[in-house]
Amino acid sequence: MKTALVTGASRGIGTACAIALSKMGYNIVLNYNKSEEKAENLANIITENYGVDVMCVKADVSDKTAVDEMVSKALEKFNCIDVLVNNAGVSSVKLFTDTTVDDWNEIISTNLTSVYNVTHAVLPSMLRNHSGNVVNIASMWGEVGASMEVAYSASKAGVIGLTKALAKEVAPSSIRVNCVSPGVIMTDMMSSFSDEDIKLIREDIPLDVLGTAKNVADAVAFLVSDKAQFITGQVLSVNGGMVI
């Protein structure tokens, strides 16, 4: 049986990815940082409904030591990690001139350095197996930039660059590395926006619907499946046409 590690699986897109992968038959390593109860509830739902093995591990993905410990525990239990979804992330909306170096470092370390941390820990087992799939959750703002989200946009542009370069480096070992790049997805991350803001944003989405976490998870499920076996180094946008 194969195993998938999903970072930031306690809420939102990570939860939807963990469910989608468990439906595909993967054992799940469910990473969380603060939302322990949500992670434990999700683990119970997955075990009861999909008959796979689940392990919950707390780790701040920006902390290399914590990540190395998490991956060691996962490998001890499951021997190998076949799929890695680097999903954990935070956002912040403020003027660039109001962004302190601490704000900057928090966004970059949680959204970008984390992808280095977790992938660096997981990749040796994929290289040994000569197979594996990494999917990084980027953002449309990493593709085109968002006003008042400069640090966030830079972190996600970094994730896209990392994805393309690593895809080239590990392709000879039959490991695929791709990005899913979501548009506006209705999760806790959007909770600071008012109903009026959301209405205005929706008017900018050609398909005239707001995205769901499942929309993103469906794209992740496709990329790790055999249907995508000739696809690597790509950015799959899931945004209702907002950025084309």
User: What minimum distance in Å lies between the beta carbon of 16 and ligand NAP?
Assistant: 8
Q: Which is nearer to ligand NAP, 132 or 240 (CB)?
A: 240
116 part of the active site = no
Binding residue (CB under 6 A) for ligand NAP from 43, 115, 157, 184: 184
Torsion, Cα 13 18 24 27, to 10 degrees, reads: 160
Q: Would you give the distance in Å from CA 160 to the centre of its chain?
A: 12
* Residue 14 near ligand NAP by CB under 6 A: yes
What CA–CA distance (Å, rounded) separates 82 from 62?
Answer: 22
Which tokens in the block code for residue 242? 């907002």
* Residue 189 near ligand NAP by CB under 6 A: yes
What CA–CA distance (Å, rounded) separates 135 from 142?
Answer: 15
Q: What is the x/- site pattern for ligand NAP, positions 123-152, by CB under 6 A? A: --------------x-x-------------
Of 26, 32, 116, 152, which residue is the catalytic one?
Answer: 152
Q: What is the x/- site pattern for ligand NAP, positions 196-225, by CB under 6 A? A: ------------------------------
> Where are any strands of DSSP class E within 7-126?
27-32, 54-58, 83-86
Binding residue (CB under 6 A) for ligand NAP from 3, 10, 117, 153: 10
In eight-state DSSP terms, residue 228 is: G
What CA–CA distance (Å, rounded) separates 117 from 194?
Answer: 34
User: What minimum distance in Å lies between the beta carbon of 239 and ligand NAP?
Assistant: 8
Q: Which is nearer to ligand NAP, 27 or 62 (CB)?
A: 62
Question: In the chain, what are the helix, strand and coil shares in percent, each to the nearest 5?
Answer: 55, 15, 30
User: What minimum distance in Å lies between the beta carbon of 49 and ligand NAP?
Assistant: 20
Q: Which is nearer to ligand NAP, 79 or 241 (CB)?
A: 241
* Residue 116 near ligand NAP by CB under 6 A: no
What CA–CA distance (Å, rounded) separates 224 from 242?
Answer: 25
Task: Please check whether residue 39 is in contact with residue 112, taking contact to mean a CB–CB distance below 8 angstroms.
Answer: no
User: What minimum distance in Å lies between the beta carbon of 18 and ligand NAP?
Assistant: 10
Query: According to CB under 6 A, which residues from 54 to 83 bind ligand NAP?
Result: 60-62
Task: Please check whether residue 64 is in contact with residue 110, taking contact to mean a CB–CB distance below 8 angstroms.
Answer: no
All residues at 6 or more sequence positions from 138 whose CB lies less than 8 Å from its CB, including other chains: 156, 159, 160, 163, 179, 180, 181, 182, 235
Interacting residues toward ligand NAP by CB under 6 A: 7-8, 10-14, 31-35, 60-62, 87-91, 110, 137, 139, 182, 184-185, 187-190
Catalytic residues: 152
